[in-house]
Amino acid sequence: EGLQKFYDFCEVFGLSYFPSQANFILIDFDRSGDEVFDYLLKNGYIIRPGTVLGHPTSARITVGAPEDTKGIIECLSTWLQQ
């Protein structure tokens, strides 16, 4: 369910992602993964920037509790609409 919410989020914003069978998703934001990391960190979420994984425009986000998934998606939606 959590991964599906991220897949849906990516579809809405036209973002590419790597489908996963695990508890995380790698999303290509087409901008620095470090920028995504910094923004989410300032808003209370810790993720892994894709730069450390060899995907500099991506971010790896762990799918956790439903309220955390909802919060990250809302935060990213606000950021992408700025």
- For 22-75, the pLDDT digits (tens) are 899 999 999 999 999 999 999 999 999 999 889 999 999 999 899 999 999 999
Type of residue at 9: F
**In this predicted structure, what is the pLDDT of residue 42?**
97
Q: What pLDDT, on a 0 to 100 scale, did the predictor assign at position 31?
A: 92
User: Is the pLDDT confidence value at 9 over 90?
Assistant: yes
Could you tell me which residues come within 8 angstroms of residue 61 by beta carbon, excluding any fewer than 6 positions away? 6, 24, 25, 26, 27, 47, 48, 72
d(CA 12, CA 56): 22
Residue 20's SS3 state is: coil
Rounded (10°) angle between helices 33-42 and 66-80: 120
